[in-house]
DNA sequence: ATCCAGGCAGATG
DNA sequence: CATCTGCATGGA
């Protein structure tokens, strides 16, 4: 196990980055957070003026946390006189994680029409049931294990009607080189994802953003719809996504994540944020 | 208890 | 093209 020090800056906050809804395998500790990705783990503790990251693979996580992107620059580019700036001020420390595409595909298949606490539980039980025991935690399962589990397994651990999606997707991906999909442009990659059973526009866009670092997509879920229903009263979610992608271009994914976190946290904390 | 959740597939106007 | 419905489950 190795450890690295991460300087604290205004544009990186571990709590905001992990709690903003892009990742589900993490937990709070006394001094910070633990996060799991594939078969790796990282423990990040708050040491006042810096973070200490302890991990089995510190290089994996220094890429995972996306320290090379200039978030201050992006925040300056997209600022406005309204809710985008308000959302940035609230979630200034969010980074978009560079997660494993396969893990993201399964995570966001589970996420549809579901609450985040329950999503976390379902994914955790998938790891417990099929993942390698790493001593203290379970790895995300291999495609072999996922494909061999059967629909019953996913139903039994509480995946609900998504069990069939998980089973079919696992069996399909067994014969595919998902890593090759990274070479496709966003439009063709989205088309590929949409051809899978259980993946629609919103789940595809989350996979594009969180699993393939396509920051030019703007996933539209129920929270984002609430934000924009005043401005686009008769636009479907798909249409809304197109319009917002066009408006924010290569920064769309970042803007979306700041707005999502702001809206959801405001509701959760019963703040009466002005969002229309 | 009733509503709703980081929606989607399939069926029907 | 747009709109409607059923879906499994459990947190609030």
For every residue of A132-178, DSSP letters joined together read: -B-SSSBPPPPHHHHHHH-HHHHHHTT-GGGHHHHHHHHHHHTTS-H
What protein residues sit with their CB closer than 7 Å to strand C?
A 113-115, 117-118, 121, 155, 158, 160-161, 234, 236, 239
pTM for the structure as a whole: 0.97
* pLDDT for the residue numbered A267: 87
Q: Quick one: average pLDDT of A176-204?
A: 97
Has residue A129 got a pLDDT over 90? yes
Has residue A208 got a pLDDT over 80? yes
Has residue A44 got a pLDDT over 60? yes
What mean pLDDT, rounded, does chain A reach? Answer: 96
Q: What is the pLDDT of residues A233-271, one digit of tens each?
A: 989 999 999 999 999 999 999 999 999 999 999 988 875
Distance A155 CA to C10 C1' (A): 14
Has residue A131 got a pLDDT over 70? yes
Has residue A275 got a pLDDT over 50? no
Distance A113 CA to B4 C1' (A): 9
Q: Quick one: average pLDDT of A13-39?
A: 98
Distance A40 CA to C5 C1' (A): 42
């Amino acid at each position: 196990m190795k450890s690295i020090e991460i300087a604290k800056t205004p544009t990186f906050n571990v709590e905001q980055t992990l709690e903003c809804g892009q990742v589900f395998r993490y937990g709070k500790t006394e001094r910070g957070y633990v996060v799991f990705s594939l078969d790796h783990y990282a423990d990040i503790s708050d040491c006042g003026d810096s973070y200490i990251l302890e991990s089995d693979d510190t290089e994996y996580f220094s890429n995972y946390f996306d320290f090379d992107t200039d978030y201050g620059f992006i925040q300056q580019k997209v600022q406005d006189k309204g809710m985008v700036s308000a959302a940035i001020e609230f979630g200034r420390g969010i980074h978009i994680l560079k997660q494993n595409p396969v893990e993201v595909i399964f995570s966001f298949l589970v996420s549809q029409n579901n609450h985040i606490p329950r999503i976390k539980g379902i994914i955790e039980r998938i790891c417990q049931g099929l993942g390698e025991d790493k001593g203290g935690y379970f790895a995300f399962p291999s495609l072999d294990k996922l494909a061999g589990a059967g629909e019953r397994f996913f139903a039994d651990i509480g995946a609900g009607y998504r069990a069939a999606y998980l089973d079919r997707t696992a069996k399909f991906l067994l014969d595919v080189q998902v890593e090759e999909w990274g070479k496709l442009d966003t439009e063709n990659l989205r088309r590929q994802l949409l051809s899978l059973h259980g993946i629609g526009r919103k789940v595809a866009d989350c996979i594009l953003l969180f699993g393939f670092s396509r920051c030019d997509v703007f996933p539209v879920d129920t929270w984002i719809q609430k934000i924009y229903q005043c401005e686009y009263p008769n636009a479907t979610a798909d249409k809304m996504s197109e319009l917002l992608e066009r408006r924010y271009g290569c920064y769309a994914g970042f803007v979306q994540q700041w707005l999502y976190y702001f809206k959801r946290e405001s509701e959760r904390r019963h703040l009466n944020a002005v969002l229309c």
